[in-house]
Structure 1
Amino acid sequence: MVFNKTMEVEDFQDIIYKKEPNGILTVTLNRPERKNALSPLTLLELWHAVNHAEEDEEIRVMILTGCEEANAFCSGGYFSEDMFEKIPQEYRKEIDIMDMASKKLCLKFWDFTKPIITAINGLAVGGGFTLPLVCSDLNYIAEDAWIALYFIKRAVMTDFATSYLLPLVVGFQKAKELFFMGEKLSAQEAYEFNLGINKVLPKKDLMPYVRKQAFKLIPPKAPSVSIKLMKQAMHSHYREILKNQLDLENKYWKKTLRTKDFNESLKALTQKREPKFIGK
């Protein structure tokens, strides 16, 4: 998927794109008023951020994190009546609004040849955790952060090919427990469950440690070509599987959005109560 018009980094509204002379790029989710929830505009900007980073030979590694003001990494998907209004007109016709599993962005991240390190500096709910699971090569988390896969509470399907990736990471039974129960996990629990977390750190030490790791992945400390080829080799086998799984997730997303349980979950969310599902 290639857009006809390139979105410049200066035009980003939902993310901050900070490139350093040392080869480190930091992409920061920057919507604190909604705890960095992912809107269609956020996903679009992330796609273009990855595209810019791939084409820029000076960039050797990407760090993904959430703004400090949000006290969160990402609270998942953002749904509102006006969520498409901020998308520039020239991009609207190229966006499939039913790509709920974010196939375009997921595959863009999967094909990105440079290493990505995610600093999970606060809560990571739903897509807020499945995004780093699919896009990141190394995940580090603050000890006071927590993770929750609340898809079941919203009566919807999973996204970002997590229905394939999570069983691959933790095994089928543990993945099913996480999906079916939708329980909140502490940072330490996520690490002990081998939930794609490389290390748990005190919050004040998180970004310094992540930056230290980033420097280990770029010259003169690392041969960036070797790292790039290793990543491509590991990702190559899974790409077609991932693509097919994203199509399946989108198909099932459409089914869940038509259920009475989904409508009930929205009402419950608005009324700040537990949903009462009927299985229809």
Structure 2
Amino acid sequence: MTVQSDSLVHVYTENGITTVTLNQPEKRNSLSMAMLERLSEVFTALEADEECRVVVLAASGKVFCAGHDLREMREQFNRHEFQQALFRQCAKVMQQVVNLPRPVIARVAGVATAAGCQLVASCDLAVAESGARFATPGVNIGLFCSTPMVALSRNVSRKHAMEMLLTGEMIGAERAEQIGLLNRVVDAETLDETVYSLARTIADKSAYTVKTGKTAFYRQLEMPLEQAYEYTAEIMASNMAACDAQEGIAAFLDKREPDWQDR
């Protein structure tokens, strides 16, 4: 068991599952520059952490994440270089989530708006309590949610993404599940049970195979159909040469549990 905690983020690893918790409920877990930099450090460390097999991204308090820290942004109104650096740092963190070789599951309780909604959309899987709500409300304050749009439009259909972006209206968890932003919606009382059951199911797989599959999934999405099949055929051929593929096939045929070596 490994525990790291500070005023920004709490990190806890047990049985191969690392929970990364946004830890500023008094600031609605907003993505300030300091929070983004800390998250980047955490995800960089997790890339090399062999103890970690699955990541659960959670938040303390009643708000999952309210997006960027508008007070901080207002203080920097006249510093274009700060605004550029802020959004680039946010983009870096979102891409780190996607590129992390471990699956990331968002555990959503409360509200996720703007860049907070972007964070949920960037995760590989997302489970929310029934009372959770989501929005990309930048249009309401004259600041279109352009960077959240990147993750949102890659998870839900164009028309649903545009409706959220153009209206800025809040949607409930059930609607978020219907349009593809969430995998599951559960009662608040069973949120942890559902999230960690899902995490344990994935953690029990070959880490090598999961890493291979996650990487290939996102790469093929951006390819034309023919190129995607060429790429994934080569990935599968290479995967077949791996120790875990051979062990998994043998175990299946021999009707026994596989002994993963993660290679």
| Band the TM-score falls in, shorter-chain normalisation | 0.7 to 0.9
Q: For 1:140, what is the secondary structure of its paired residue? A: strand
Contact 1:62–1:116 (CA under 8 A) maintained in structure 2: yes
Q: How does 1:198-209 map to 2 (within 5 A)?
A: 198-209=183-194
For 1:70-103, what per-residue CA distance to the aligned partner results, in whole angstroms no more than 9, with x for missing partners?
211111111335999xxxxxxxxxx965132522
The equivalent residue for 1:111 is 99
- Tell which deviates more after alignment, 228-237 or 115-124: 228-237
TM-score using structure 2 length: 0.74
Among 57, 65, 72, the alignment partner of 1:74 is: 65
2:48 is equivalent to residue 63 of structure 1: no
Among 157, 166, 180, the alignment partner of 2:144 is: 157
Q: For 2:34, what is the secondary structure of its paired residue? A: helix
One-letter amino acid of the structure 1 residue matched with residue 39 of structure 2: L
Among 8, 17, 31, the alignment partner of 1:14 is: 8
Separation in 2, partners of 1:82, 1:103: 16
Separation in 2, partners of 1:159, 1:47: 21
The equivalent residue for 1:181 is 167
The equivalent residue for 2:158 is 172
Separation in 2, partners of 1:202, 1:10: 29
The equivalent residue for 1:35 is 28
Count of equivalent residues? 214
Gaps of 5+ in 2: 76-80, 224-263
| Structure 1 residues 158 and 49, CA gap change in structure 2 (3 angstroms) | same
The equivalent residue for 1:228 is 211
| Structure 1 residues 105 and 168, CA gap change in structure 2 (3 angstroms) | closer
One-letter amino acid of the structure 1 residue matched with residue 209 of structure 2: S
Shift, 1:157, TM fit: 3.2
For 1:15-72, what per-residue CA distance to the aligned partner results, in whole angstroms no more than 9, with x for missing partners?
111122x1111000111112211111111111011111111111111100111xx211
Q: For 1:64, what is the secondary structure of its paired residue? A: strand
Q: For 1:98, what is the secondary structure of its paired residue? A: helix
Greater relative CO (CA pairs within 8 A, separation 6+): 1
Separation in 1, partners of 2:49, 2:93: 18
Q: How does 1:206-221 map to 2 (within 5 A)?
A: 206-219=191-204
One-letter amino acid of the structure 1 residue matched with residue 106 of structure 2: T
One-letter amino acid of the structure 1 residue matched with residue 71 of structure 2: S
Shift, 1:159, TM fit: 4.8
One-letter amino acid of the structure 2 residue matched with residue 53 of structure 1: L
Among 179, 182, 186, the alignment partner of 1:197 is: 182
TM-score using structure 1 length: 0.70
Separation in 2, partners of 1:52, 1:26: 13
Shift, 1:168, TM fit: 3.4
Contact 1:110–1:239 (CA under 8 A) maintained in structure 2: no
The equivalent residue for 1:23 is 16
Contact 1:40–1:83 (CA under 8 A) maintained in structure 2: no
Q: For 1:216, what is the secondary structure of its paired residue? A: helix
The equivalent residue for 1:144 is 131
Identity of aligned residues (%): 26
Q: CA RMSD in A?
A: 2.4
The equivalent residue for 1:122 is 110
Greater share of residues in helix: 2
Separation in 1, partners of 2:154, 2:54: 25
Gaps of 5+ in 1: 1-8, 85-94, 241-280
Separation in 1, partners of 2:146, 2:167: 17
Shift, 1:189, TM fit: 1.3
Contact 1:39–1:83 (CA under 8 A) maintained in structure 2: no
